[in-house]
């Protein structure tokens, strides 16, 4: 593992507490995300992993309030940025932090960029809105940003439209735009999934380098544990809308506690050993949103399921090494939970 950790000290930059997002389906409120609690410190890179549909993107969109407003969607809990609750901010306060303090990089840069504007106009617009820079200053900053994301001939790139550059270059432009105002935090939602493996490695290396230079914290949403191992300081594992395990990356790979995390790690290919073996997979499917079981959402797939798992949702057990797990195999938070009872 290659941990390029930036010392993450001081009070949390972002504190998410008991975040819940429900979508209205007919007369019902269907929980897409629930009980999500975590912190991100300045300069930290935190991975958010889990299967498709587990709530990773909804979590990120809820943090920046980018989901359609009630009644389509209801967000509860709190999301504090340096102590100020984003969920309670006025529209103007919200607009002020988007891009300037928290930026977002989406999976598909083509649909995030405006096809009718040149790349230069889009980068410069972001810089001018959030920093008040003049046209000339914004242009200089845009050129310097494109240079820092290794775009060859940045001046020519500024004159191009999104369809005139490659997918890898579009994603680099999105990353340049995200870093344009030197935000405190970037929410990167599968930023390399649409790219081929070589370009993916380059883009991840670039984000890691920019993070080190700027001190920007990154929440990296991915389904790829290999990417997390290479780039992140801590990891949050999501399942069926909840964070079921949170741990420093080294600790998670050395000592995964939640049965779902263990299943995920067991299904990773290994270069150790010479025998060819079939990779184990986790049997079954995650529950569908409209039909969530009572008790633990993983119970139907868990090899360690116990009777209480089917009745009561597991609480959050916290360990001295910084790990937190939601599983009945461990004691609940606040009940002498600083030791490993598993
Ligand atoms: Fe398995 Fe029970 Fe833990 Fe859920 S709470 S992961 S069913 S042991």
The reported pTM is 0.87
Question: pLDDT by residue (tens digit) across 155-196?
Answer: 999 999 999 998 888 888 988 888 888 899 999 998 887 677
Ligand 1 site residues, Cβ closer than 6 angstroms: 259, 296, 298-299, 302, 304-306, 309, 314, 327-329
Ligand 1 probe mutation, 284, 296, 326, most atoms within 8 A of CB = 296
Output the CA 308–ligand 1 centroid distance in Å: 9
End-to-end alpha-carbon separation of the chain, Å?
26
Q: Which two tokens stand for residue 49?
A: 């992993």
Torsion sign (Cα): 332, 309, 48, 125: negative
Output the CA 306–ligand 1 centroid distance in Å: 7
Output the CA 335–ligand 1 centroid distance in Å: 18
CA angle 297, 302, 19 (to 5 degrees): 30
Are the C-beta atoms of 307 and 328 separated by less than 8 Å? no
Question: pLDDT by residue (tens digit) across 243-287?
Answer: 999 999 999 999 999 999 999 998 876 656 556 666 677 888 888
pLDDT confidence tier of residue 130, bands split at 50, 70 and 90: confident
Q: Which two tokens stand for residue 189?
A: 């939602």
């Amino acid at each position: 593992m290659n941990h390029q950790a930036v010392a993450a000290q001081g009070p949390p930059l972002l504190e998410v507490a008991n975040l819940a997002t429900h979508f209205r389906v007919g007369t019902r409120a269907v929980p897409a995300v629930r009980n999500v609690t975590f912190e991100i410190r300045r300069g930290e890179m935190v991975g958010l992993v889990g299967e498709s549909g587990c709530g990773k993107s909804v979590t990120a969109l809820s943090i920046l309030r980018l989901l359609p407003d009630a009644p389509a969607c209801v967000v509860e809990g709190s999301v504090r940025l340096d102590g100020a609750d984003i969920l309670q901010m006025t529209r103007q306060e919200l607009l002020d932090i988007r891009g300037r303090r928290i930026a977002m990089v989406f999976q598909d840069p083509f649909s995030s960029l405006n096809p009718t504007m040149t790349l230069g106009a889009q980068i410069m617009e972001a810089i001018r809105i959030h920093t008040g820079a003049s046209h000339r200053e914004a242009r200089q900053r845009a050129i310097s940003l494109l240079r820092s994301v290794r775009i060859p001939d940045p001046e020519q790139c500024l004159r191009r439209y999104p369809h005139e550059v490659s997918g890898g270059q579009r994603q680099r432009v999105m990353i340049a735009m995200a870093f344009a105002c030197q935000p405190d935090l970037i929410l990167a939602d599968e930023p390399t999934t649409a790219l081929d493996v070589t370009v993916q490695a380059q883009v991840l290396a670039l984000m890691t380098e920019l993070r080190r230079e700027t001190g920007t914290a990154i929440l990296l949403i991915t389904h790829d544990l290999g990417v997390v191992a290479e780039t992140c300081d801590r990891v949050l594992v999501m399942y069926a809308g909840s964070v079921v395990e949170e741990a420093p990356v080294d600790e998670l790979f050395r000592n995964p506690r939640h049965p779902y995390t263990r299943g995920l790690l067991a299904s990773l290919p290994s270069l150790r050993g010479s025998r060819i073996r079939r990779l184990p997979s986790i049997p079954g499917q995650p529950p569908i949103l409209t039909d969530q079981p009572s008790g633990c959402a993983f119970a139907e797939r868990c090899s360690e399921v116990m009777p209480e798992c089917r009745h009561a949702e597991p609480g959050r057990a916290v360990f001295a090494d910084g790990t937190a797990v939601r599983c009945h195999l461990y004691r609940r938070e606040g009940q002498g939970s600083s030791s490993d009872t598993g």
